[in-house]
Amino acid sequence: MSAALSSIGRVLGRPPIGIVLAIATVVVILVAAIFAPLIAPYDPNVQNLLGRLKPPGFVIRNTHYLLGSDELGRDTFSRLIYGARISLLVAFASVVLSGITGSILGMLAALYRGWVETVIMRAVDIVLSIPAILMAIITVATLGPGLQNVVFVLVLTRWPRYARVAYGQTLIIANTSYLRLSRSMGAGWFHILRYHVLPNIAGAIVVVVTLEFGLMVLFEAGLSFLGLGVQPPTASWGVMLSVGRNYVANAWWLSVIPGAALFLFVLSVNVLGDFLRDRLDPRSR
Amino acid sequence: MKDTDAAFRRAPVLERVIQVGGFVVRRLVQALIALFGVITLVFFLQRLTGDPVLLLVPQGATQADTDVMRTALGFDRPLYIQYFGFLADLVRFDLGRSYVQNLPVVDIISSRVPYTLELAAGALVVAIGLGVPIGILIAVRRDRFEARWLIGLVLIGQSMPTFWTSVLLIMFFGVWLRWLPPSGVNGFQSLIMPSLALGFLSMATFARVTRTSVLDELSKDYVRTGLAKGLSMSRLIAHHLMRNAAVPIVTISALEIANLLTGAIIIETVFAWPGLGQLTIQAISARDFSIVQGVVIIGAAAAILLNLIADLLYSIIDPRIRLPGRDA
């Protein structure tokens, strides 16, 4: 067992301590999000008017506020865990949907060139030149706030990132003999993408996915913070922060704790993303 | 004979001008298409997702009021006529009226623009003032421990949500130490915290770009020559290296200004700073759709323009850069 582990270690090289910490942070937060009902000590939405704005470690009638309580006496620790669920769910859904859309469009543009390429890549340029927050504002102002609309905005504004990378990577292999052979044998576009192109460009896409995941968590929190994203009383890190900022003077934990969770998660994902990019892309060394 | 010689020498310059001119025109057309795309999107999002009159009338208006409004605003006309009317108004810089405040949208927006520009300028000073020196230090001392700490600082800057930075600053300097006003507009002092909060994220970008650019230059021959003839590193950097390394930093500035302007939306809300961002968020909760629409169109236009400037600077400042699209 230890021999097997050390051989894996030899292949990957010894990861720096920062990477180990980053992986540990991401894993802890992921586990907390997935198993929220098993880990959270209390219901995140249950109010206790006797236990309002209590500091971390406060105990009142069998209720132990590990990380304090908010203005309605809800347990910050439980809300933090359930909040991770919402924040990561939004990020996951938008990364998957925009990743699939963008990658397919990018690969098609590089494989078929001509007008397909022109239309797709000009659309990429246009969407990239419009600030995402403005798209979010106009969407929320017309469609109203909410989980689905946040995901919709994120997919609408983020797919070009994947399209660009997929396009560039596919161009590199577009003229290889095995691709030409496959096409001349009458393979359809889906078959070519799935079996010939995707395996070649997957590494580059994974790097974008990692870097984008952190950004999506930040974006969701930002929108919810402004009141344009997830709506209270549902707990998300952005919602918690937006409530917490009203109590900076007398309840520091309400803004420091969700912000710290958000910061640690994004920092870890960014560290991992940079590490993966350096490992998978020999040019950036 | 002399004349042909001159023509000969001028030829590459002329070709360059034609090349750059063609690129500028192509990029201008692309920018116009992007702007047109945003305007069309705004128009159809509003028209196709529900009754636009309901977005424009004040809350609690009666059915009769709404119907009067519909006819008065021309929402009973066919969609394509409305669309061309909308475009015609925009060409005349007419963004419509706010029916909540009963003022032209252009007037409301232009009264807020100076505040947002002031905030973005403050943030840009913070971002460049911190980011460029940090980037140079990381590049020059790349194997020392200082560089590792600074890289850590850059990573933190990149991962700090601006709204959390803002809340922490308010907590420390506004509430606990009482050094700075926690919010509002009250002279230079109240500009400090919002600028820091907004500039910290851009600082990371400037530091990264500067680092890469300086590292590229450090490997060149003139650096070795300069050091060999006894120039000090600081003098070499200040007088020779930064002139070459500055090109990417200048171009990234245009893109960063666009980011700062949109980032201001969040910062302004936290610090009660009366710029465009605060206006927009207030307009959304007041259901004042014409203002939201106006800000989005103007903001997108500004971002597209800054993108265009960045691209043009990139290709014009440095003649070595091959213009994109020549052989595409």
| H or E element at residue B101 | none
Instruction: Tell me the pLDDT tens digit for each residue of B4-33.
Output: 555 555 556 677 677 777 778 888 888 888
Q: Which residues contact A244 (CB under 8 A, 6 or more apart)?
A: A70, A251, A253, A254, A255, A256, A258, A259, B167
Q: What is the pLDDT of residue B325?
A: 46
Q: Which of A25, A122, A126 to mutate to test the interface with B (most CBs of B within 10 A)?
A: A126
Does the pLDDT of residue A117 top 70, yes or no? yes
ipTM score here?
0.80
**Residue with structure tokens 């959304």?**
B284
| Contact assignment for A131 to B163 by CB distance below 8 Å | no
- Per domain, the residue ranges of chain A are 2-284
Q: What is the mean pLDDT of residues A246-267?
A: 87
Residue of A nearest to B36 (CA): A126
The C-alpha of B284 sits at a distance from chain A's nearest C-alpha, in angstroms, of: 6
Per-residue pLDDT, B10? 55
| A105: pLDDT strictly greater than 90 | yes
- The yes-or-no verdict on residue B162 having pLDDT over 80 is yes
Question: How far is CA A93 from its chain centroid?
Answer: 8
Among the partner residues B49, B155, B285, nearest to A142 by beta-carbon distance: B49
B175 CA to chain A: closest CA distance, Å?
6
Tell whether the model's pLDDT for residue B58 goes beyond 70: no
CB contact under 8 A, B296 and A137: yes
Which chain A positions have a beta carbon within 8 Å of B182's beta carbon?
A: 248
pLDDT tens for B304-315 read 888 888 878 777
Q: Spell out which chain A residues touch chain B, with contact meaning CB-CB distance below 8 angstroms.
A: 122, 125-126, 129-134, 137-143, 214, 218, 221-222, 225-228, 241-242, 244-245, 248-249, 252, 255-256, 259, 262-263, 266-267, 270-271, 274
Mean pLDDT of A155-160: 91
| Structural tokens at position A75 | 């347990």
pLDDT band at B126 (very low <50, low <70, confident <90, very high): very high
pLDDT band at A13 (very low <50, low <70, confident <90, very high): low
**Residues of A whose CB is below 8 A from B262:** 131-134
Sign of the Cα pseudo-torsion (A220, A225, A227, A230, in order): positive
pLDDT at A214: 87
- pLDDT, averaged across chain A: 82
- Whether the upstream peptide bond of residue A233 has omega within 30° of 0, thus cis, is yes
**Does residue B326 carry a pLDDT above 80?**
no
Within 8 A of B155 by CB-CB distance, chain A residues are 267, 270-271, 274
Q: Is the pLDDT of residue B327 over 70?
A: no
Contact B49 A252 (CB under 8 A): no
Q: Which residue of A has its CA nearest to B31?
A: A126
Q: What is the pLDDT of residue A9?
A: 52
Average pLDDT over residues A108-136: 85
Q: Which of A141, A214, A262 sits opposite B164 (nearest CB)?
A: A262
Backbone φ and ψ for A48, nearest 5 degrees, come out as: -140, 100
Closest chain A residue to B170, measured at CA: A248
Instruction: Band the pLDDT of B3: cuts 50, 70, 90.
Output: low
Give the residue from chain A lying closest to B151, CA to CA: A271
**Mutation for testing the A interface, residue in B51, B163, B176 having most A CBs under 10 Å:** B163
The pLDDT of residue B302 is above 60: yes
Residue A96 has pLDDT above 90, yes or no: yes
Indicate if the pLDDT at residue B1 is higher than 50. no
Contact B149, B158 (CB under 8 A): no
B143/A179 Cα distance (integer angstroms): 44
Strand partners, A75: A69
Contact at CB, A263 and B304, closer than 8 angstroms: no
Residue B206's pLDDT is 92
Q: Of A130, A133, A248, which has the smallest distance from its Cβ to B34's Cβ?
A: A130
Which CATH number applies to A2-284?
Answer: 1.10.3720.10
CB-CB neighbors (< 8 A) of B159 in chain A: 214, 263, 266-267, 270
Please identify which residue in the block is written with the tokens 């400090």: B192
- Local confidence band at B49 (pLDDT 50, 70, 90 cut-offs): low
Chain B residues whose beta carbon lies within 8 Å of the beta carbon of residue A122: 30, 33
pLDDT of residue B93: 80
* Alpha-carbon separation of residue B18 from A173, B21, B32 (angstroms): 34, 5, 21
Q: What is the pLDDT of residues B203-244, one digit of tens each?
A: 988 998 898 888 888 888 888 888 888 888 888 888 888 888
**Interchain contact, B262 vs A133, CB within 8 Å:** yes
pLDDT recorded at residue B322: 53
Q: Cα–Cα–Cα angle for B236, B242, B246, nearest 5°?
A: 175
Identify the weakest region by mean pLDDT among A97-106, A138-147, A265-274, B11-20: B11-20
B266 and A226: CB-CB below 8 Å? yes
pLDDT tens-digit map of A24-66: 888 988 888 888 888 777 778 777 777 777 777 777 777 777 7
**Contact between B269 and A262 using a beta-carbon 8 Å cutoff:** no
Contacts of B301 (CB under 8 A, 6+ apart): B35, B38
Task: Tell me whether residues B34 and A255 touch, CB distance under 8 A.
Answer: no
* Residue A47 or B137, more confident: B137
User: Which residues of chain A are within 8 Å of residue B266 when distances are taken between CB atoms?
Assistant: 133, 222, 225-226
How far away is chain B from the Cα of A153, in angstroms, using its nearest Cα?
Answer: 12
With 80 as the cut, is the pLDDT of residue A4 above it? no
pLDDT tops 50 at residue A1: no
Which residues partner with A65 through β-bridges?
A58
Closest approach of B311 to chain A, Cα-based (Å)? 11
> CA dihedral defined by B233, B237, B240, B246, rounded to 10 degrees?
160
Query: Which residue among B49, B155, B292 sits closest to A143, beta carbon to beta carbon?
Result: B49
Q: How many CB atoms lie within 10 A of CB B5?
A: 9
Looking at residue A6, its pLDDT comes to 55
Q: What is the pLDDT of residue A285?
A: 39
User: Chain A contacts of B46, Cβ < 8 Å?
Assistant: 142
Q: How many helices (H) and strands (E) does chain B have?
A: 13, 2
Please give the span between the terminal C-alpha atoms of chain B, in angstroms, as a whole number.
38
Q: What is the mean pLDDT of residues B112-135?
A: 92
For the ranges A28-37, A231-240, B6-15, B181-190, the lowest mean pLDDT is seen at B6-15
Smallest Cα distance from B304 to chain A, Å: 6
Q: From B296, which residue of chain A is nearest by alpha-carbon distance?
A: A134
